[in-house]
Amino acid sequence: MLVPILIMSSMGLLFGLGLAFASNIFRVGLDPRIERIIGVLPGVNCGACGKAGCAGLAEAIAKGDASLTSCPA
């Protein structure tokens, strides 16, 4: 009874460490410009600008596809 518990616990620990390692390797960094633009926007995520939310508008502004005045809120 103790052996299966130890096996499952060690497998869980091994898989957890593997996922933590993989998340550090395959991390996708956010552009610091987008983070600053999101900080300026109101954060309402209303979609009135035509984008999915404030993050979508911030990405469009960073690419040059939209202006800061696109946000009606």
Question: What's the domain range around 31?
Answer: 2-70
Check which CATH number belongs to the domain holding 35 and give it: 1.10.15.40
> Looking at the predicted structure, is the pLDDT value of residue 15 above 90?
yes
Number of domains in the chain: 1
Q: What whole-number percentage of the chain has pLDDT above 70? A: 100
pLDDT in tens, 16-46: 999 999 999 999 888 899 999 999 999 888 9
CB 71 within 8 A of CB 50: no
> Looking at the predicted structure, is the pLDDT value of residue 62 above 90?
yes
pTM: 0.62
| Residue owning tokens 């508008």 | 57
Predicted pLDDT of residue 30? 82
Predicted pLDDT of residue 1? 87
Region for residue 22 given its phi and psi (left: phi exceeds 0; alpha: psi -120 to 50; beta: otherwise): alpha
